[in-house]
A and B are shown apart, each in its own frame.
Chain A
């Protein structure tokens, strides 16, 4: 593996019936990422269950309950590497009650694989997955039209799905959509090019994942540095050192940049950027560094450093799309803790503007109860200003979670409109 290889995170949406587990199993198997003892275990289980051959879907089973019930309950992460890239798969369950898991897996993904059964075409579940991918602004969507072997590998089935998908996705905000006809069961166009579909000129799935351009997936324009913690060493040598530690959320910072610290508004210039004992000329997202400034200003966790000519908007009133993640429904006008970058404030949901019917994508202004898996547009009021960007511009400074103070549970995920 080459040293400059990148890391690509993708999520797979779909249910067992779509062949999602089989697809992941196939990707791992054909890219030789499965070990002999794992294969042996799966072969034994396949035999016990009376399956013919090796059931690749068994690779993705995790917890005891999942093995017993044959379903995926929670997001599971899988890893594989090819000579071109390292991959992280967030394997998320496809059942309706598990929207929260899909949202979770989607939140950090560069790409989403959406599985469609070639026999059934685009169904409600497909729309739901595509909607969540667009809501979470996953930069690349790959629609895999699976089970092509069951429609005699015919191009018509493939074209039909494309037409259906494009018809409803025009309502969504997706930048890069690709369509690949595959058979996860037989391996066609997963790792190896299919010999049964000459009419398909595009690349197989793995090649697509290996080569798609992802360097621009992170915002490299708006420089934002949320301060995680302040480093003040107790040693003689570094007595005057005051480093602001954090991970660049977006954009690029250079030595000498004129910066503004928010929310205080104090200005200064970057004196040094350090990564461990190395001094750097510049730092870009998502690097973890520490920054020192020319002036001694009071800065603490939750503050944000931005370039003086490009700052986020401080605001106490936030309009956002939120996905409710908890069994207990939202309490009207209840106070929650809002966590946004390294900042934490009290917040209140002032108003639910509308709920989205995720099957039809219709807005329902009359339905304003927020329960598990609901996706709504809301108005939130915070006790102090948050330093926000819109989620569309910036997935890091445009996202937040809500925490219920009485249970400490994470109850909602939010994306600033």
Chain B
């Protein structure tokens, strides 16, 4: 076989770097949507590689629900310092305080859907014309329809039935004032690819991904972390379990799995043997069959 071919991880990396450079070239004020989860960490790492030896030319934007894992916030702040990039925070608490949104009520209340307003407000106030996300097409069926360059109208909405066709690697980021784009450099990566890449590149990730002891409550078929935001039902007990998180969202909706995987290698092995999808532990996706599509149309990540 000829030596002139790339392996799958190199090809995915090359594609993602190409997308990031295309974003930089086609937009005035792009940002990376940074959640502190592994996907946005990988996107940030790729941006570092894409523009080396220059600094990452984008700010990182974090939509802060106020319901955070403290570990996530520390990780975010450390990363910002190391990279020397600007951080923009959109605060859901502020959106609630100013009356832009109302807090959900009841036991299963979360701030997940409220993030949409905060995100769109932050995009508008900061005059962001492209928000780069770590969304992957393998995550969820509505995300399987995403383009690399995905148009949002002036209300921030996605219209999945009338998307611009995307051919070859020719991306069309043209837009009118007030509209913006979402760009997804790791569209073609799977959860396994992300872990293999983290392992290969030795990328630092929050401790929450590794097996650790934590106080949790069994709810909706997964271990929900105990926190000040959790309202306990009568029949629910707080237990201490050795768990890790497969995805990181806000603390009220992210379920952990019991695991002994305390290194990236062990996680990669565990993920390879998994028989459940990664978002299976996310209560935000379980609300209905088309929960993700419905939120995405309104402007969700």
**Residues on A facing B (Cβ under 8 Å):** 1, 3-7, 35-38, 41, 61-65, 67, 73-79, 81, 85-86, 88, 100-101, 103-104, 107-108, 213-216, 220, 228-229, 231-235, 237-238, 241, 243, 245-247, 252, 274-277, 284, 286-288, 290, 301, 325, 337, 339-340, 342, 395-396, 399-401, 403, 408-410, 413
Contact of A79 among B21, B137, B163, B168 (CB under 8 A): B137
> Which residues on the B side are within 8 Å of A247 (C-beta)?
14, 17-18, 169
Given A81-B192, A108-B168, A286-B11, 5 extra CB contacts under 8 A: A4-B7, A35-B274, A277-B53, A403-B174, A408-B176
Assess the B53–A229 pair: CB atoms within 8 A: no
Q: Does B51 contact A (CB under 8 A)?
A: yes
Complex Cα spacing A1 to B290, Å: 33
Contact of A228 among B5, B21, B48, B142 (CB under 8 A): B21
Assess the A63–B5 pair: CB atoms within 8 A: no
> Which residues on the A side are within 8 Å of B14 (C-beta)?
247, 286-288
> Which residues on the A side are within 8 Å of B7 (C-beta)?
3-7
Complex Cα spacing A395 to B168, Å: 8
Assess the B166–A215 pair: CB atoms within 8 A: no
Q: Which of B251-299 contact A (CB under 8 A)?
A: 274-277, 280, 289-290, 293-294
Q: Which of B1-57 contact A (CB under 8 A)?
A: 1-2, 4-15, 17-18, 21-22, 24-25, 48-55
**Closest approach, in angstroms, between the C-beta of B45 and any C-beta of chain A?**
10
3 closest residue pairs by CB, A with B: A408-B174, A288-B17, A7-B8
**Closest approach, in angstroms, between the C-beta of B184 and any C-beta of chain A?**
11
Q: Of residues A38, A64, A246, which shows the largest number of chain B Cβ atoms within 10 Å of its Cβ?
A: A64
Q: Does B86 contact A (CB under 8 A)?
A: no
> Which residues on the A side are within 8 Å of B165 (C-beta)?
100-101, 103-104, 325, 410, 413
Assess the B8–A6 pair: CB atoms within 8 A: yes
**Closest approach, in angstroms, between the C-beta of A257 and any C-beta of chain B?**
15
Assess the A37–B280 pair: CB atoms within 8 A: yes
Known: A67-B289, A215-B1. A104 touches B166 (CB 8 A): yes
Q: Does B144 contact A (CB under 8 A)?
A: yes
Q: Of residues A229, A233, A288, which shows the largest number of chain B Cβ atoms within 10 Å of its Cβ?
A: A288
Total interface residues on B, CB under 8 Å, equals 63
Contact of A396 among B11, B21, B137, B168 (CB under 8 A): B168
Assess the A77–B192 pair: CB atoms within 8 A: no
Assess the B5–A6 pair: CB atoms within 8 A: yes
**Closest approach, in angstroms, between the C-beta of A318 and any C-beta of chain B?**
15
**Residues on B facing A (Cβ under 8 Å):** 1-2, 4-15, 17-18, 21-22, 24-25, 48-55, 137-138, 141-142, 144-145, 160-161, 163-170, 172, 174-176, 187-188, 190, 192-193, 196, 274-277, 280, 289-290, 293-294
Known: A7-B8, A86-B8. A401 touches B21 (CB 8 A): no
Assess the A62–B145 pair: CB atoms within 8 A: yes
Complex Cα spacing A365 to B294, Å: 46
A-B contact number at CB 8 A: 185
Query: Which chain A residue has the least Cβ–Cβ distance from B160?
Result: A63
Known: A233-B53, A235-B53. A5 touches B8 (CB 8 A): yes
Assess the A399–B53 pair: CB atoms within 8 A: no
Query: Which chain A residue has the least Cβ–Cβ distance from B167?
Result: A107
Assess the B21–A245 pair: CB atoms within 8 A: yes
Assess the A410–B172 pair: CB atoms within 8 A: yes
Known: A76-B145, A413-B165. A7 touches B1 (CB 8 A): no
**Closest approach, in angstroms, between the C-beta of A120 and any C-beta of chain B?**
29
Assess the A220–B145 pair: CB atoms within 8 A: no
> Which residues on the B side are within 8 Å of A275 (C-beta)?
49
Known: A7-B12, A215-B2, A287-B6. A88 touches B188 (CB 8 A): yes
Known: A7-B11, A67-B289. A233 touches B54 (CB 8 A): yes
Assess the A76–B144 pair: CB atoms within 8 A: yes
Complex Cα spacing A235 to B84, Å: 12
Known: A35-B275, A37-B280, A247-B14. A401 touches B170 (CB 8 A): yes
> Which residues on the B side are within 8 Å of A277 (C-beta)?
52-53
**Closest approach, in angstroms, between the C-beta of B268 and any C-beta of chain A?**
10
Assess the B21–A38 pair: CB atoms within 8 A: no
Assess the A74–B280 pair: CB atoms within 8 A: no
A/B interface sample: 23 pairs, CB < 8 A: A1-B192, A6-B8, A7-B11, A41-B289, A65-B161, A67-B290, A74-B160, A74-B161, A74-B163, A104-B165, A107-B168, A214-B5, A228-B21, A233-B54, A286-B18, A287-B14, A288-B50, A399-B168, A400-B170, A401-B170, A408-B172, A408-B175, A408-B176
Complex Cα spacing A214 to B4, Å: 11
Assess the B161–A73 pair: CB atoms within 8 A: yes
Query: Which chain A residue has the least Cβ–Cβ distance from B196?
Result: A1
Query: Which chain B residue has the least Cβ–Cβ distance from A399?
Result: B168
Assess the B276–A229 pair: CB atoms within 8 A: no
Contact of B25 among A64, A74, A301, A410 (CB under 8 A): A301
**Closest approach, in angstroms, between the C-beta of A342 and any C-beta of chain B?**
7
Complex Cα spacing A128 to B243, Å: 53
Known: A37-B280, A107-B167. A79 touches B138 (CB 8 A): yes
Known: A35-B274, A37-B277, A104-B166. A229 touches B21 (CB 8 A): yes
Assess the A63–B17 pair: CB atoms within 8 A: no
Complex Cα spacing A51 to B12, Å: 39
> Which residues on the B side are within 8 Å of A301 (C-beta)?
25
**Closest approach, in angstroms, between the C-beta of A405 and any C-beta of chain B?**
8
Assess the B293–A38 pair: CB atoms within 8 A: no
**Closest approach, in angstroms, between the C-beta of B301 and any C-beta of chain A?**
17
> Which residues on the B side are within 8 Å of A252 (C-beta)?
4
> Which residues on the A side are within 8 Å of B175 (C-beta)?
408
